[in-house]
Amino acid sequence: MKTVRSYGLLLIAELLFALVPVLAQRAVVTGREARELLWAPDSRAKVDSIIAFAAKHRKNDSVDTLFKIGFNLVNRLAYKDAEARLLDAYGVYNRDFSRYALALANHKDSRELARKTGDIQTEIHATNNIGVVYRRLDENGKALTYHMEALRLAEKVGDDYSASVALNSIGNIHIVLGNYYDAITYFRKSLPIAQKANNMLGMAMNYNNIGEAYEYMGKLDSADSYYKQSLFYNKQINNHKGLAICYNSIGNVLKKQNRVQEAIALFEKAKHITDTLGDGLYSANNYNNLGNAYLLLHQYIQARNMFFDALAISSRIGTMTETKSAYEGLMKLNEMTAHLDSALFYSKLFKKYSDSIVTESNNRHVRQMEAIYDTEKEQARIVFLETNRKNDRIFLFGALVLFLLILTSGILYYLRYRLLERNKRLSQELEIRSQIASDLHDDMGSTLSSIHIFSELLRTSGTNKEELLTKIEANAKDTLDALDDIIWLVKPSNDKFSNLCQHIREYAVPMFQSKGIHFQIDFPESISEIPLPMDTRRNIFLIVKESVNNLVKYSKCTEASIIARNEETMIFFAIKDNGIGFDPEKLTDRNGVKNMYARARKMQAGIRIATGCGNGTLVEFWVTKEKAAEA
């Protein structure tokens, strides 16, 4: 009897010990629905209910505890089919609190598990969510890859909800890259799909995004109209985050209409929401908006506090866009308060973060991915049509059908070839346009900003006036030279070697004469009429320009030459001097040399630099005539 009683007491003690962690977890759960779910019997249905509850109540205090219980049940009940869905939901939860590294890991694990179990619905959702996290981290190229994949899968299985999410996300990437008309096209494609799927959140997001595109284009009335439509749908579904986004968006329109006090009222309304959400991205954006509004009212202390708060949040969560905006605001604030040294300091940080967001390469990647997607979609449609034709005619007109299929395939192959060629040309043109825009924005913008700051220093400083004037003069000359190069580049009539040769002379001759260098420039007449595309023309000129610039600045030479030779399949260029040369072992430390190699690779040209201390320098590069015409 005593033995039985001892075993009974031991069993009760073990049960109580096992229940301690569960009871501790359950103690933090709040809300009637959450408590009912927590105390429900352990089953697969309970796991499904936890996933559904987490999707609707992502900010509920109980969610973290419920997720832990859910993962425990998945393992204990061997409910592997739900594990991918639970991981994806947990990733969304972590993303809402700006835990991006953890969110990425959750979504990628979910996607991998969903593929293994054949759960294509969860695979699509996880793929889209990976893209969303990358967009928040300003990695738009990676984001586009995942959203395109999600869009292909969603269209394949007829998942309208996921298709609308993917289209909306691709539109947002275009907004970041400044392709506003393309962005609107994607949002308008997403709207009816979201409506068909009864996705009111998707409709609210698309209306807000269309308004954002119109705002960036300066069409404020249209922007305001779409923002208010978005606000209507967010109120219908009681979406607090969506309401905060709308208040910020409408506030920005009011700010641009000089209704700053009304804008601040809306920003404060949004701040009341974002401060409770825990989503750092929207909080940082909100503080930056308030900072810029206070700046317009010359309330500098409030503005500074807002920008520093935005900077602290954005640095913590790793968003370059909001960090850049905070530095830009602090630069403007210090300029307005005549703290010019601080203005210059923040100007450099702003430019550093602007350079980190690589618009040119992202734009190129977007166009390539879209071209691949459109081509794959066209191929799928062709296969479908061909299959139908075979099934309809195979028994009656076999020979005729075969002939028609061959003819159709040839025509479609030709059209596909034309489409790919057209996409290739468009990609090249877009790349050059993006580079020109980047040059104008980064080089000329920062140079003009430096001129402004040096001018202010000249006005207020009693010393170093000669040095400041020299810096202003040098910056102004650099700006004029850069503008002259861009105008020459985009002018359609400059599409032959003769125009390139003339431009090289116009640059090099004054440089040589200023240093008293005896020079020879020789371009054979036989290459004058060879056509030369814009991208190749630009890269050849910039290699020659960099070589001449280094020669004049560093070589201490007395003689120099620029010579071109016309071979059967190649055009050779050689830039030579009899100067002091340099140590070739230190080539990797010279950015100019790196740039020359990079430009040669870009147009698939060969390049060689021969030099040595006291032996002068020879830069040779050669491009095939065929590649020059295709580039």
Query: Distance (Å, rounded) from C-alpha 273 to C-alpha 326?
Result: 21
Q: What is the mean pLDDT of the chain?
A: 78
Please write the tens of the pLDDT for every residue from 548-578: 988 888 889 999 999 999 888 889 999 999 9
CA distances from 336 to 2, 295, 326 (A): 88, 9, 15
Please write the tens of the pLDDT for every residue from 360-385: 445 444 544 554 454 445 444 444 44
Q: How many CA atoms lie within 13 A of 94 on its CB side?
A: 19
Written as one letter, the residue type at 113 is: L
Written as one letter, the residue type at 503 is: H
What pLDDT was estimated at residue 456? 63
> Which pTM value belongs to this model?
0.46
Query: Distance (Å, rounded) from C-alpha 133 to C-alpha 139?
Result: 9
Query: Distance (Å, rounded) from C-alpha 187 to C-alpha 190?
Result: 5
Written as one letter, the residue type at 568 is: E
Q: What is the mean pLDDT of residues 74-88?
A: 88
What pLDDT was estimated at residue 520? 92
271 compared with 436, residue with greater pLDDT: 271
Among 63-67, 196-200, 460-464, which stretch is predicted with the lowest mean pLDDT? 460-464
What pLDDT was estimated at residue 403? 78
Give the three-state DSSP class for 577.
Answer: strand
Token couple for 515: 């240093």
Q: What is the mean pLDDT of residues 226-246?
A: 90
Query: Distance (Å, rounded) from C-alpha 380 to C-alpha 373?
Result: 11
